[in-house]
């Protein structure tokens, strides 16, 4: 049965997974009049949904469907931000900074793309960069402003959305949140949790995140989805306001929007950055703290410890762009997210399949998960 056919008669949806993808599916379901039962195995989601920058990141997306998905998600985030202030939505934009000529040349190519206007791109010289973001007192050759990018508070998004749903923000009440319930069995139109309770619905949506074992493991074992590990940190509050999100020239290596001729001219990364596949992303939190990262690791089993060399490199890059020391680091963490394996499905933006009658599995958005989750959920109900 197709999802459209299910929707014609659906009264109840069961959503498994309390991360941002599962929660956005709950929002989308309630918007369409579904009664929603929402299960999460932990007391609170603890995965990539809260271990990220909180970036709604349009700037680096690949031209075509990926950019379209991100732009639609940006619209949905803005609409939610207007209704749910607790998300901390800020249309702050971003600056990607070049510190040498090859990086600047690549930014010029990006600013000349046919879709540059849709992304809100504008190439700025150093003086204009500092006018947009006065906190930047370091040395750089220029920057690419992306006005479409935005920021949310990742540790606040999920409880804020659940409170909104529980208060009947989509209309009449019809949302039940059941944390601490691990699903152990799936059958058409129903799941059973570890307490033995069955939860039945006309539609079941599984959003397991990076949990590739357990109840979803038998479906994911067919391949096509892999996991990625990253490292990040957060500082004490910086008194000065950093008005945009920031990215350094290393980020040009990792985002498909910059897969342009000039990419081949970029010099080698610093040794520590190359080993960790690092790029600097920096976002100031609502309390003034700076979230800084990140790294990429693809080979499992992942190490249980964190690599200090990567943190030293990222801190130095942040200080070079800001032109001074950053506050003391208060938190360090690693996270794991799920993404479609590019070696098996190069053009897929995420993984969605009906694994049992009336049971849909949605996972694998990769690093675009926080950005695109509202639009992915919308597509599930299309």
103-114 pLDDT tens trace: 999 999 999 999
* C-alpha–C-alpha distance, residues 227 and 12, integer Å: 31
* The pLDDT of residue 4 is above 60: no
Q: What is the mean pLDDT of residues 174-199?
A: 97
Please indicate, yes or no, whether residues 7 and 138 belong to a single structural domain of this protein.
no
Q: Does the structure show a pLDDT above 90 at 222?
A: no
DSSP-assigned beta bridge partners for residue 332: 233
Query: Would 287 be classed as within a structural domain?
Result: yes
pLDDT number for residue 151: 98
Question: What average pLDDT does the structure give for the chain?
Answer: 94
User: What pLDDT sits at residue 314?
Assistant: 97
pLDDT at residue 172 in the model: 54
Query: In the structure, what pLDDT confidence band is assigned to residue 175 with cuts at 50, 70 and 90?
Result: very high
CATH code for the domain in which residue 136 is found: 3.30.9.10
Which parts of 43-153 fold into alpha helices (H)?
65-83, 101-111, 116-119, 126-132
Give the model confidence (pLDDT) of 292-314 as tens digits: 999 999 999 999 999 999 999 99
Task: Reply yes or no on whether the pLDDT at 117 is more than 70.
Answer: yes
Q: Are residues 278 and 176 in the same domain?
A: no
Residue 1 pLDDT: 41
pLDDT of residue 255: 95
Please tell me whether residues 170 and 240 are part of one structural domain: no
pLDDT of residue 9: 54
Answer for the pair 41, 208: CB distance below 8 angstroms, yes or no. Answer: no
CATH number at residue 366: 3.50.50.60
φ, ψ for residue 107, nearest 5 deg? -65, -35
Total structural domains in the chain?
Answer: 2
Residue listed under structure tokens 């599984």: 206
User: SS3 string of 197-255?
Assistant: CEEECCEEEECCCCCCCHHHHHHHCCCCEEEEEEEEEEECCCCCCCCCEEECHHHHHCC
Higher pLDDT, 308 or 343: 308
pLDDT (0 to 100) of residue 326 = 97
Distance, C-alpha 67 to centroid of its chain: 14
Instruction: Tell me: do 235 and 304 sit in the same domain.
Output: yes
Give me the domain span that covers residue 129: 94-147+225-340
Q: Per the omega criterion (within 30 degrees of 0), is the bond before 263 cis?
A: no
* pLDDT-wise least confident of 170-184, 204-218, 266-280: 170-184
User: According to the model, what pLDDT value does residue 221 have?
Assistant: 84
Residues 15/34, Cβ–Cβ less than 8 Å? no
Rounding to the nearest 10 degrees, give the CA dihedral for residues 66, 69, 74, 80: -150
Between the alpha carbon of residue 380 and those of residues 32, 81, 207, 281, 342, the distances in Å are: 12, 21, 12, 30, 22
Average pLDDT score over residue span 80-88:
97
Is 187 part of a structural domain of the chain?
A: yes
Instruction: Give me 364's structure tokens.
Output: 């694998």
Let me know whether 185 and 293 are in one domain: no
Whether 329 and 210 share a structural domain: no
Rounded to a whole number of angstroms, the CA Rg of the chain reads 21
Q: Are the beta carbons of 215 and 76 closer than 8 angstroms?
A: no
Question: Based on the domain organization, do 232 and 128 belong to the same domain?
Answer: yes
Give CA–CA dist 165/83, Å, rounded: 11
- Same domain assignment for residues 107 and 118: yes
Spatial distance between the Cα atoms of 64 and 161, rounded to a whole number of angstroms: 29
Are 13 and 101 members of one domain?
A: no
233 and 323 in a single domain? The answer is yes
Task: Please indicate, yes or no, if residue 78 is contained in any of the structural domains.
Answer: no
309 and 201 in one domain?
no
Q: Is the pTM of this model over 0.85?
A: yes
The confidence score (pLDDT) of residue 90 equals 98
CB 45 within 8 A of CB 52: no
Same domain, residue pair 233 and 273: yes
The total of other beta-carbon atoms located within 10 Å of residue 208's CB is 27
8 A C-beta contact, residue 158 and residue 88: no
* 71 in a structural domain: no
């Amino acid at each position: 049965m197709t999802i459209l056919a299910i929707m014609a008669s659906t009264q109840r949806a069961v959503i498994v997974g309390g991360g941002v993808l599962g929660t956005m599916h709950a929002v989308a379901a309630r918007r369409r009049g579904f009664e929603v039962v929402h299960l999460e195995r932990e007391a609170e989601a603890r995965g990539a949904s809260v271990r990220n920058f909180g970036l709604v990141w349009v700037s680096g997306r690949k031209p075509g469907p990926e950019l379209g998905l991100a732009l639609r998600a940006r619209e949905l985030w803005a609409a939610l931000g207007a209704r749910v202030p607790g998300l901390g939505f800020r249309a702050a934009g971003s600056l990607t900074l070049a510190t040498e000529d090859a990086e600047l040349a690549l930014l010029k190519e990006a600013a000349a793309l046919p879709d540059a206007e849709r992304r809100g791109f504008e190439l700025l010289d150093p003086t204009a960069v500092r006018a947009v973001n006065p906190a930047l007192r370091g040395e750089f050759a220029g920057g690419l402003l992306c006005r479409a990018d935005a920021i949310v508070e990742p540790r606040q998004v999920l409880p804020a959305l659940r409170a909104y749903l529980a208060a009947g923000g989509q209309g009449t009440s019809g949302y039940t949140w059941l944390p601490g319930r691990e699903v152990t069995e799936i059958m058409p139109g129903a799941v059973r949790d570890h307490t033995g309770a069955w939860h039945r619905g006309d539609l079941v949506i599984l959003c397991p995140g990076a949990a590739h074992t357990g109840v979803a493991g038998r479906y994911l074992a067919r391949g096509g989805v892999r996991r990625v590990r990253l490292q990040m940190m957060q500082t004490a509050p910086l008194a000065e306001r950093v008005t945009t999100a920031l990215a350094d020239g290393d980020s040009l290596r990792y985002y498909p929007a910059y897969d342009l001729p000039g990419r081949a001219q970029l010099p080698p990364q610093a040794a520590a950055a190359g080993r960790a596949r690092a790029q600097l992303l920096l976002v100031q939190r609502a309390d003034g703290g700076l979230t800084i990262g990140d790294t990429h690791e693809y080979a499992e089993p992942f190490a249980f410890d964190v690599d200090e060399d990567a943190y030293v490199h990222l801190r130095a890059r942040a200080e070079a762009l800001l032109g001074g020391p950053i506050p003391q680091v208060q938190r360090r963490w690693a996270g794991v997210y799920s993404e479609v394996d590019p070696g098996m499905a190069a053009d897929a933006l995420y993984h969605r399949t009906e694994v049992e009658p009336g049971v849909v599995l949605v996972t694998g958005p990769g690093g675009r998960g926080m950005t695109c989750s509202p639009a992915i959920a919308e597509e599930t109900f299309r």
